[in-house]
């Protein structure tokens, strides 16, 4: 029998998938599982946006332009302009979710064997994209004590080699919720300029900054333009994860040209969902007021509840919809499984993401978990009741 590739075997199994059988079994026992483990918003997709697809007059569902329909790119460019990101339709490549933007950026900017520096913890799928693109992620540790702020630039400097080609950040951050300051982004840009590196900036959660104005890597002025590649998606900002519409945005014409060639390979991004994206790009900025207020209230509640729990350390995340606390536990994977297999409180339990899935450094994340606040306030309260009780009785509690 022919053998599959080593990279196929090396691809990480989704941590979510590892826990799913235990969650299913808990539900089969009649236990309510509070899903704090996934970044799937519960907020409704705007009806006007869905209606744009559902009322469209389509005779033949044709391939679109390889970079996405011009009409969509025009409206998307306007959206970025409103966010003070000065781009034209020619600077945009519409992608199949943020995922494809990540893949195209790695393929376009790095050769096989090249290295990309990434603050750790980081979005787990970056590991998978790096394997697919044949490049190496070089993690630089950030720390809960600083709220997962950018590590000192000296720590990044120490990891630079001949093969270093890029820095990859997620801002606001998944999984930590940290929002980079303008000063941090300027330090990063200077670092990239010193070493001729690309700055790949995943800004999927741009709209969800609660304590300070959002700063994009493309807010850093003309000096940033040769370096910055924005990786974006409509998934989170319009609760439209299933659409699979994102964008690669760059003012660097060589990167744009290379990425466009990869885009032509798959002919076009999804057509129906581009109609949705086009309608979404026309939503007024006021659309975000309600959503952002709702997420902020949830964040405040979740952080407050976590801080009441003995032994829990919880920074206040400035953005996205994740909290990443330190818990007084032996092992976050064991704890996550125990919650589903062996625990219940008033008929409920919690499904969470062990933070080990966000670290490459061995041992990283063993006492941290990621909690997504994608449930309403009442459900968050009940989930926090469960978690507090679980921490009280968990056999692997650390003192």
Among 37, 108, 142, 291, binds a copy of itself (CB under 8 A): 108
The yes or no reply on residue 176 touching a copy of itself (CB under 8 A) is no
Residue number with CB closer to a copy of itself (197 or 303): 197
Residues 299/307, Cβ–Cβ less than 8 Å = no
We find the least distance from the C-beta atom of residue 186 to a copy of itself, in angstroms, to be: 18
Residues binding a copy of itself: number (CB under 8 A) = 83
Which residues inside 194-213 make contact with a copy of itself, applying CB under 8 A? 196-198
Residue number with CB closer to a copy of itself (236 or 326): 236
Q: CA-to-CA distance for 165 and 227, rounded, in angstroms?
A: 11
Q: CA-to-CA distance for 214 and 208, rounded, in angstroms?
A: 8
CA neighbor of 230 nearest in space, from 257, 266, 194, 255:
255
We find the least distance from the C-beta atom of residue 207 to a copy of itself, in angstroms, to be: 17
We find the least distance from the C-beta atom of residue 53 to a copy of itself, in angstroms, to be: 6
We find the least distance from the C-beta atom of residue 107 to a copy of itself, in angstroms, to be: 6
Which residues inside 257-316 make contact with a copy of itself, applying CB under 8 A? 257-259, 261-262, 264-273, 276
Tokens of 234: 């409509």
The yes or no reply on residue 139 touching a copy of itself (CB under 8 A) is no
The yes or no reply on residue 147 touching a copy of itself (CB under 8 A) is no
The yes or no reply on residue 322 touching a copy of itself (CB under 8 A) is no
Residue number with CB closer to a copy of itself (167 or 179): 167
Q: Which stretch binds a copy of itself (CB under 8 A): 10-18, 25-33, 143-151, 365-373?
A: 10-18
Helix or strand run (H / E) with residue 383: helix 377-393
CA dihedral 209, 213, 216, 220 (to 10 degrees): -160
CA dihedral 300, 233, 353, 304 (to 10 degrees): 0
Residue number with CB closer to a copy of itself (104 or 394): 104
Strand partners, 294: none
Tokens of 160: 């630079």
- Tallying the residues shown for the chain, one arrives at 399
The yes or no reply on residue 175 touching a copy of itself (CB under 8 A) is no
The yes or no reply on residue 222 touching a copy of itself (CB under 8 A) is no
Strand partners, 322: 372
We find the least distance from the C-beta atom of residue 85 to a copy of itself, in angstroms, to be: 20
Which residues inside 35-94 make contact with a copy of itself, applying CB under 8 A? 40-45, 50, 53-56, 58-64, 66
Residue number with CB closer to a copy of itself (63 or 304): 63
Q: Helix, strand, coil % (nearest 5) of the chain? A: 45, 15, 40
Rg of the chain taking only CA atoms, in angstroms: 21
Residue 159: CA count within 13 A, CB half-sphere: 24
The yes or no reply on residue 33 touching a copy of itself (CB under 8 A) is no
């Amino acid at each position: 029998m022919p053998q599959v590739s080593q990279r196929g075997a090396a691809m990480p199994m989704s941590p979510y998938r590892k826990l799913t059988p235990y969650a299913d079994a808990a539900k089969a026992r009649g236990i309510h599982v509070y899903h704090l483990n996934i970044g799937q918003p519960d907020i409704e997709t705007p009806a006007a946006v869905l209606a744009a697809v559902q009322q469209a007059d389509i005779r033949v569902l044709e391939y679109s332009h390889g970079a996405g329909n011009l009409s969509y790119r025009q409206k998307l460019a306007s959206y970025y302009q409103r966010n003070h990101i000065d781009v034209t339709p020619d600077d945009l490549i519409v992608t199949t979710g943020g995922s494809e933007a990540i893949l195209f950026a790695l393929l376009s900017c790095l050769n096989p064997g090249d290295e990309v520096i990434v603050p750790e913890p980081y979005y787990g799928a970056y590991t998978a994209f790096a394997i697919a693109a044949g490049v190496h992620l070089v993690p630089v540790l950030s720390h809960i004590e600083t709220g997962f702020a950018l590590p000192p630039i000296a720590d990044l400097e120490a990891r630079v080699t001949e093969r270093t080609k890029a820095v990859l950040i997620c801002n606001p951050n998944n999984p930590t919720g940290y929002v980079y300051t303008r000063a941090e982004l300027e330090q990063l840009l200077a670092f990239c300029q010193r070493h001729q590196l690309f700055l790949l900036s995943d800004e999927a959660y741009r709209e969800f900054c609660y304590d300070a104005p959002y700063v994009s890597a493309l807010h850093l002025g003309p000096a940033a333009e040769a370096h910055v590649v924005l990786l974006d998606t409509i998934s989170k900002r319009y609760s439209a994860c299933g659409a699979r519409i994102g964008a690669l945005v760059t003012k660097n014409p060589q990167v744009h040209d290379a990425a466009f060639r990869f885009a032509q390979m798959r002919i076009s991004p999804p057509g129906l969902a581009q109609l949705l994206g086009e309608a979404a790009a026309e939503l007024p900025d006021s659309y975000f007021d309600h959503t952002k207020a709702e997420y902020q209230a949830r964040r405040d509640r979740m952080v407050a509840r976590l801080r009441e729990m003995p032994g829990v350390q919880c920074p206040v995340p400035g953005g996205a919809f994740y909290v990443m606390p330190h818990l007084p536990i032996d092992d976050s994977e064991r704890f996550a499984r125990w919650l589903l297999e062996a625990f219940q409180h008033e008929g409920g339990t919690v499904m969470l993401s062990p933070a080990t899935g966000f670290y490459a450094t061995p041992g990283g994340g063993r006492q941290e978990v990621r909690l997504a606040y994608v449930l309403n306030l009442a459900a968050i309260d009940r989930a926090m009741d469960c978690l507090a009780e679980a921490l009280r009785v968990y056999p692997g509690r650390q003192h």
